[in-house]
Every structure is written in C-alpha cells, then in structure tokens.
C-alpha cells in the first residue's frame, strides 16, 4: 500500500507539472482549455470551473490538457472559434506545446535544489581523483591524487558520477583524451581504461570518497549539475536503447517503476530512516520528470515534439499543415503508443515475476 501511495504521489507530481505548463501558457495565449485531467481511464472525480473541466481519473499513469480544436478534426469544415488552438499565433502555440516539457525541467531543478540542501544525506562529489588506483589506466597516464577531471573525449565533467556514466554509456574502447586540472594549470593526456571483472565494465582508475557541502550560491550551481546529470543519463540511456545495448529487463513502464523502482527503493531506504526515504523518492521524481520532459520532446507523432515539428514547419512554410491531416498523423501516433503501452505492461509483468 505504501509503495502504491508513493507511486501515485510521484507520478501525480510529475504529470501535474507537465500539464500545468501547457495549461498556463494556453491561458496566456487565449487558448480555451476544455479539460485538465490527471490520470487515464474513467473519471473518479470532476468539477467544472469557468469553461474548463478538471478531472481525476482512475489510472494514475498520465494526464492531459485538452485544447479546443487541438486535433484539427472538429474544425475541418468550419471556421475556428476565437478560443481555438488553431486561432492562436504560431509562436503562441509553440510556447504552449513546449511548456509541458519545460515545466518538467523546472520541477527537476527545484527537486535537485531541495536535494542539494539535504547535504547530510546526498553524496555530492566533485570530479576529483582523491585516489589514483595503482596499476590502473589513470596512473599509467600520469594522473595524480588531487587532479580534477575536466572532460573525457571533449565531454565536460561536472560531478564525479558523470565519470561512471560516461564509461558505461559512451566509452567504446581504445584511448580516452582526458583534460584535467592540477595546481591551477590545465593538462591533457591519453588514457586507456582497464576492464574490471568485478563490475563488468571499464574503469578510469580513479576514486573519490570526499563529499562537498555547498553553501550560498553554490547550492544553485550544484542543483544545476544534479539536474544536468539526470538529463545526460536519460538521453544516453535512450541512445543505448536505440543501439540495442539495453535488454528487455532494463525497460520499465508504470507497473515496473512502481514495483521494481519505487517499491524496492523504499524497502532499502526505510532501514535508514525517513530522510533516506524522502531523498530516494525525490531522486526518483527528479529522474522521472527529466525523462518525461525529454521523451515528450522527441519528434514523434502524438508527443509534444511531434506537434512542435508541425508548428516549426508552419513557421518555415508560412502557412500551417492542414489541421485534419496533422490530426490524422497524431491519431496514428496515439494508436502506436497505446499498443506500446500494452507491450510494456506485459514486459513489466514478466520482469516482476522473473525477479
């Protein structure tokens, strides 16, 4: 029951932030919001305030902010009304569509800032090699204790965990170009990571067990770094998925997240007290908010990114794609995602019973 409650709260916060972004910019651009809903499926509760219906639905796995004339089908043979999505300026529509993912990033930053303020619990480490491992690639390349890793093959490193992320998701073998700072001077070297049998991956050959406690304006900087790490982890994971480097067991939908992520994380964290539980749930919320923001920006029909493609085409062409044609494209995309949800649901069940 606690796992279910935590899951509903986490998903609810992430979805409400996303849909509220659409809602706020729609109102600002004079677009009539027909319905603002949290969840999917049958209504549990609804109330109409002004000209907008606010709904809470049975299944806590999504939400919607529905605009008048959004799909274009209802206005195929008639002039759009003043509050129609189609009547708003193209930049007004772009801002309204983009606001959902943007608000997910705002939420993610706010959560990261809260986490960074919990310095007694969160382990924030600068990318400093406090210990260069004997016999490792870093030692062979001349790195020393205290060196600050600045970049790997040109990719900037801001937090220590970004080193592990790079090695897991981006390293393809061979030498790495490492930029590092020592005594205020910047150097570069070539480094060959060593394969580690225990972890089953390649290691740079450095360690860091020194945590920082940011104060003042540094709180904002490290909050940005934490959110940035989540963004990098998300798009790198997507890249691994498209490249076939992620197995079926690594993919999770709402059921899998509830049981294998929220549930197991809660069971582990509760042994260390409520603060550990809170921090763990905040971290999951941060990752999910970033995931939702990035996934919705993909240029795929039915997603915000797919709608942005059509709107940007309108900017380039100087006239919109016929609404009925765009609506049909998004309808096909929606059917695809409905099918994908069914596949992911059964994949979640398979992973749960296999664990």
State pLDDT tens for residues 233-270.
988 888 877 776 666 566 666 666 776 778 888 888 88
pLDDT of residue 75: 46
pLDDT of residue 219: 93
| Token pair listed for 327 | 């609506």
Neighbours of 256 (CB within 10 A): 21
- Per the prediction, the chain carries an average pLDDT of 87
CA angle 318/322/325 to nearest 5° reads: 140
Instruction: Report yes or no: 149 and 178 within 8 Å, Cβ to Cβ.
Output: yes
Helices (H), the chain: 2-28, 90-117, 137-140, 161-169, 218-242, 254-256, 264-269, 274-296, 304-317, 323-354
Percent of the chain with pLDDT over 90: 53
Q: Is 176 helix (H, G, I), strand (E, B) or coil?
A: strand
Mean of the pLDDT values across residues 99-128? Answer: 90
What homologous superfamily does CATH list for 125-210? Answer: PDZ domain (2.30.42.10)
Q: Which of 113-122, 183-192, 246-255 has the highest mean pLDDT?
A: 183-192
pTM of the shown model: 0.87
CA–CA separation, 30 vs 333, rounded Å?
Answer: 27
Per residue in 140-187, pLDDT (tens digit) is 999 999 999 999 999 999 999 999 999 988 888 889 999 999 999 999
CA–CA separation, 35 vs 43, rounded Å?
Answer: 12
CA–CA separation, 108 vs 286, rounded Å?
Answer: 5
Higher pLDDT, 329 or 240: 329
Does residue 298 have a pLDDT over 70? yes
Does residue 31 have a pLDDT over 70? yes
List beta partners, residue 195.
Answer: 202
Percent of the chain with pLDDT over 70: 90
Q: Where are the domains of the chain?
A: 12-95+296-354, 125-210
Q: Which of 239, 224, 238 is nearest to 286 (CA)?
A: 224
């Amino acid at each position: 029951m606690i796992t279910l409650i935590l899951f509903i709260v986490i998903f609810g916060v992430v979805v409400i932030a996303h849909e509220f972004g659409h809602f706020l910019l729609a109102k600002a651009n004079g677009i009539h919001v027909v319905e603002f809903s949290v969840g999917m499926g049958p209504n549990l509760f609804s109330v109409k305030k002004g000209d907008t219906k606010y709904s809470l639905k049975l299944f806590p796995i999504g939400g919607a902010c529905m605009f008048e004339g959004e799909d274009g089908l209802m206005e195929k043979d008639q002039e759009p009304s003043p509050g129609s999505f189609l009547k708003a300026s193209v930049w007004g529509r772009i801002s309204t569509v983009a606001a959902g993912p943007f608000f997910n990033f705002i939420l993610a930053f706010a959560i990261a800032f809260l986490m960074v303020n919990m310095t007694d619990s969160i382990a924030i480490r600068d990318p400093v090699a406090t210990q260069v491992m004997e016999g490792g690639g870093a030692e062979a390349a001349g790195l020393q204790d205290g060196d600050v890793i600045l970049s790997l093959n040109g990719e900037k490193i801001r937090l220590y965990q970004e080193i592990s992320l790079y090695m897991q998701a981006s390293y393809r073998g061979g030498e790495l170009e490492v930029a590092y700072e020592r005594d205020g001077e910047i150097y570069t070297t070539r480094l060959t990571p060593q394969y580690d049998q225990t972890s089953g991956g390649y290691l740079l050959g450095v360690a860091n067990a020194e945590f920082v406690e940011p104060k003042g304006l540094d709180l904002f900087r490290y909050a940005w770094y934490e959110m940035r790490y989540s963004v990098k982890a998300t798009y790198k994971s997507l890249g691994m998925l498209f490249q076939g480097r992620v197995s079926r067991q690594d993919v999770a939908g709402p059921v899998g997240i509830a049981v294998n992520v929220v549930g197991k994380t809660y069971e582990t964290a509760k042994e260390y007290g409520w603060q550990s539980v809170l921090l763990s749930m905040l971290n999951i919320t941060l990752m999910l908010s970033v995931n939702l923001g990035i996934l919705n920006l993909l240029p795929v029909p039915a997603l915000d990114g797919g709608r942005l493609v059509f709107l940007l085409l309108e900017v380039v062409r100087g006239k919109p794609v016929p609404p009925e044609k765009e609506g049909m494209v998004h309808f096909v995309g929606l059917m695809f995602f409905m099918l994908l949800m069914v596949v992911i649901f059964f994949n979640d069940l398979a992973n749960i019973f296999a664990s």
